Structure 1
Amino acid sequence: MTDARTQVQTLAEFAVACRERPLPDDVADDVVHRILDTVGNCLAGRAESAGGNAPDAAVLRMVTGWGGTPEAGVIGSGERLPAPSAALANGTFAHLLDFDDTHLPSVLHPSANVVPAALAAAEAAGAGTRELLAATAAGIEVANRLGMASYLPDLGNSVFFEKGLHATSICGTLGAATAAGLLHGLDAPALASALGIAASMGAGLIEANRTGGSVKRIHCGWAAHSGVTAAALAAAGVTGPPTVLEGRFGFFNAYLDGAYDADALLYGLGDRWELLRTVYKPYPSNHFTHPGIDCALALRAAGLTAADVEHAELGVAAPVLRTIGEPRAHKVRPESGYHAKFSGPYTVARALLGGGGLGLHLDDFTDDKAADPRLRALAERIDVVADERATRLFPTAFAAVLRVTTHSGAALEHRVDSSRGGPGSPLSRADVLHKFRLNAARMLSAEHTGRLVDAFAGMAEPNGDFADVMKLVCTTPETSPRDHPTAVPS
């Protein structure tokens, strides 16, 4: 018998079931850490703000000017804003530093969209921790499933990426609407409408990864804002098309020219969780740069110094060349610390010179570091090329090989088939917590950070309360972020 439900109706029924039944233990534990990681990224993003026309400062200035009923907190501030505005601000902070998690093989960043939307909607609705965790889990799963549907094994890539579309913000808008809709108490038909509304709001182009511009840094904020707004519109009675995904003029035809995997979207929904395949980032840079960083750190640990390098060749998956290797002039001489995050030559050079945190950290991506003549000279000696093995493994894992010729004539090589944090080398819970402490310490005192870690641990308890977390993260900074070191004990 043919299932008469449309795709969006199936996703909505799955999401409502997440709210009505306990989450699997591993999923519930994972979601707590997704929220922790995202909040840490937000705190670090606030601390790194350049002010003025920086995207986060511009967004905060704009939403504060909008005004409205105070419903939800702004992370790193005592400010309270309407839920959609708080989601916009916090989603921008979450993606600001390119430190947010990545789902493979869809290559999208779900938590930076879904968590800010869920936190804002939960505060506005007065929801409890159980509802927050269920909504976040369902939202991330919907975003990941939409991303998975766009990945075609024969293409070896996401169709979104091939077309220059940002799957993160497009799929993330529907994930954010899922989370916010559940927290609004929507039933399955209304939640399907929220997703149908959100599908008209998701957008994002990734040209900024190649040649500059700050707009990409607000993509997750806008997705979170749009998701919260879509859920509120559905609650107010606006409806969406039931065939919004598979229809002739629906999501998959409009964005992907009808080339998508329907089984990846729906098969095993609720039993096999794509959320659990979302990997954490150890380094605050585009995820495609991570295997090259790993290779450089390994050769450095084996005794190679930056001064030894006459020439180096970084071999990566062919589809990522356009992001981290081209145009070459932009990659060897990035215009800012942010654009250096998308450069294979820069990140390898920086790793060879030595970095902070788990290998490279935020102070390795300042504007001054990007303009450092010594670093640029080293980056000029690094070429980025396609590597057959890395291409074959992409995008189920991010692989690379680094070959170095030294001034003495020695030939060195190191290869990784799955970058640190990836499916072949996942970060431990201790690593994730260490990363959080490093990020939070840029804005908060050690004592405050410790209280926040304890509050997160309490969220995992059956009667946990996320209100303590929000009180601690939505506060005026106690000290200047520059007073804090880039490394603290884990």
Structure 2
Amino acid sequence: MKDHADTPATLALSETLAQFAANFDAASIPVTARERGRLLMLDSIGIALASHGYEFSRRALAAIGELDSGGDSIVIGSGKRMDPRNAAIANGVLIHGLDYDDTHARGVIHATASILPTVLALAARDDRSGSDMVAAYVLGMEAATRLGAVAKGGFHQVGFHPTGLIGTFGCTLAAGWLLGLNARQMVDAQGIALSLAAGSLEFLNDGAWNKRLHPGWAANAGITAATFGKHGYTGTRLAYEGRFGLYASHLGERDYDLQLATAQLGTLWEVERVSVKPLPACHFTHAAIDAAARLHAQGVRADQIRRITVLVPAEVVKTVCEPEASKRKPANSYEAQFSIPYLVSTALCKGKLTLDDLEEAALSDPAVLALAAITDYEHDPDSDFPLHYGGEVIVELTDGRKLREREAINRGAEDRPLTAADIQAKFRDNALRQISAERAAAIEQAVLGLEQGTARALADQLTQH
């Protein structure tokens, strides 16, 4: 369904979302959605802390620091203070940089990576309550995930990254709520966001670092758009369904459904359907990694394997299977995180995948690369993408046997979620790579108890002591 039409008697999508956001009542958020929101924040903060151990974060913080003119907004895990927009960019890079952050399956979007930096920067700056920060986060998540779902997975097929592109609009509405925008101003802000939103997938061809910047830039753009809207700067009304609006300009003739943005809005909470990653790689690869690990657990070893075939959803091939040469021999960790051959081969050889398997030394493991060289892919005929990111691994052994393991519902998916205890354990594992157990425990307590505190108190807890 393509819904481009709009008449004076019909509210534009930007107007519907503006009314929802301007009138958003924190008390309307169910307890379960609030709890989920705090857990998702905790997960992302742990990843941000772990990211300080990697070169990309050092280079990003150096660049942002050179551009920054000073301010009091914190950078997670650092003693640096910046202006709110630059801090939001930095925190977005830290949360998303390891590709270990949460995913909304239908929206195919890492929404927390942009929404959390936005609300942390503004809520702490303006000394808002922790409850207000959680509410703004949930509002932004509802908008971003739904707007992503409208495209039915189409953005990836034409080379756009929803996390940056769509994240901008979720950040705009979350920022608008914290800044007190009325509905008219919210419409303007979304129209302005249309000209600021971006995110290209070209990085997939060479493992470049562009993607790591996308959510932070979305946060920066959202804060900018909301602030322009606050001051009465006029933005286009048909940001989404217009002739050159978001979906027509980015999807062309591909199918999309605008009704998905508002279906059960305010009664069905998408934040509760966000998946937490159990593995530090592109979510599209998780099912195949787990299937390969199970084959290893059954006794399959590298020297027994003649050929590997991985069944993947047709929609993810461009992201994790092509170009085949670089996927079979990734040049860097980021390229490896989007490589079905490398990740599946690692799990077959080692029985697991951790952040350590993405270090430079691991990328040259001859046993892993030998398996990656004989790994092919086929379209999965039983895929229900984007509901689940399933997959199957088939290994042909030298003795003629053929073994296969299928993961129809990826671990961590909406209907196979990680528990609160799982998420807290993941946070600790990531946080302890950079900080003490005592400090990690204090941060965990501050995040999970955020609604009994203030955004500024949380921000202070997240700085380097």
Q: Identify if the C-alpha distance between structure 1 residues 455 and 256 changes in structure 2 by more than 3 Å, giving closer, same or farther.
A: same
> In 2, are the aligned partners of 1:114 and 1:224 still within 8 Å (CA)?
yes
The aligned residue for residue 309 of structure 1 is 305
Unaligned runs of 5+ in 2: 1-6
Amino acid in the other structure paired with 2:316: V
The aligned residue for residue 368 of structure 1 is 361
Q: Distance in 1 between matches of 2:287 and 2:370?
A: 22
Tell me how far 1:71 sits from its aligned partner.
3.1
The aligned residue for residue 251 of structure 2 is 256
Amino acid in the other structure paired with 1:394: F
Tell me how far 1:21 sits from its aligned partner.
3.5
> In 2, are the aligned partners of 1:210 and 1:322 still within 8 Å (CA)?
no
Q: Distance in 2 between matches of 1:368 and 1:229?
A: 41
Where does 1:214-229 land on structure 2 (aligned, <5 Å)?
214-229=209-224
Tell me how far 1:128 sits from its aligned partner.
1.1
For the residue of structure 1 that corresponds to 2:357, the secondary structure is: helix
Amino acid in the other structure paired with 2:428: R
Q: Identify if the C-alpha distance between structure 1 residues 186 and 334 changes in structure 2 by more than 3 Å, giving closer, same or farther.
A: same
> Can you list the C-alpha shifts for 1:160-183, whole angstroms capped at 9, x where unaligned?
122111111111011111111211
Tell me how far 1:136 sits from its aligned partner.
0.6
The aligned residue for residue 422 of structure 1 is 413
Where does 1:318-337 land on structure 2 (aligned, <5 Å)?
318-337=314-333
The aligned residue for residue 4 of structure 2 is none
Tell me how far 1:3 sits from its aligned partner.
5.8
Q: Identify if the C-alpha distance between structure 1 residues 473 and 242 changes in structure 2 by more than 3 Å, giving closer, same or farther.
A: same
Q: 1:277 aligns with which of 273, 295, 307?
A: 273
Unaligned runs of 5+ in 1: 152-157, 477-490
Tell me how far 1:192 sits from its aligned partner.
2.2
Q: 1:346 aligns with which of 342, 357, 372?
A: 342
Tell me how far 1:308 sits from its aligned partner.
2.6
Q: Identify if the C-alpha distance between structure 1 residues 249 and 409 changes in structure 2 by more than 3 Å, giving closer, same or farther.
A: closer
> Can you list the C-alpha shifts for 1:332-368, whole angstroms capped at 9, x where unaligned?
100011210011011011112226xxx4221111122
Give the TM-score normalised by structure 1: 0.89
Amino acid in the other structure paired with 1:16: A
Q: Note the aligned Cα RMSD (angstroms).
A: 1.9
Q: Distance in 1 between matches of 2:165 and 2:173?
A: 13
Q: 1:246 aligns with which of 241, 244, 260?
A: 241
Shifted more, 283-292 versus 253-262: the winner is 253-262
For the residue of structure 2 that corresponds to 1:398, the secondary structure is: coil
For the residue of structure 2 that corresponds to 1:335, the secondary structure is: coil
For the residue of structure 2 that corresponds to 1:311, the secondary structure is: strand
> Can you list the C-alpha shifts for 1:134-182, whole angstroms capped at 9, x where unaligned?
111111111111111111xxxxxx2212211111111101111111121
For the residue of structure 2 that corresponds to 1:367, the secondary structure is: coil
Q: Identify if the C-alpha distance between structure 1 residues 447 and 239 changes in structure 2 by more than 3 Å, giving closer, same or farther.
A: same
Q: 2:172 aligns with which of 173, 177, 188?
A: 177
Tell me how far 1:69 sits from its aligned partner.
4.2
For the residue of structure 1 that corresponds to 2:24, the secondary structure is: helix
For the residue of structure 1 that corresponds to 2:267, the secondary structure is: coil
Where does 1:36-435 land on structure 2 (aligned, <5 Å)?
36-47=42-53, 49-50=54-55, 54=56, 56-151=57-152, 158-257=153-252, 259-354=255-350, 359-390=352-383, 393-435=384-426
Q: Distance in 1 between matches of 2:415 and 2:32?
A: 19
> Can you list the C-alpha shifts for 1:262-284, whole angstroms capped at 9, x where unaligned?
21111211112222221111111
Q: Identify if the C-alpha distance between structure 1 residues 202 and 414 changes in structure 2 by more than 3 Å, giving closer, same or farther.
A: same
Q: Identify if the C-alpha distance between structure 1 residues 189 and 24 changes in structure 2 by more than 3 Å, giving closer, same or farther.
A: same
Percent identical: 36
Tell me how far 1:190 sits from its aligned partner.
1.6
Q: 2:430 aligns with which of 423, 432, 439?
A: 439
> Can you list the C-alpha shifts for 1:394-425, whole angstroms capped at 9, x where unaligned?
11111111111223333211111111111342
> Can you list the C-alpha shifts for 1:61-117, whole angstroms capped at 9, x where unaligned?
232223334131011111111100000110111110111111122211111111111
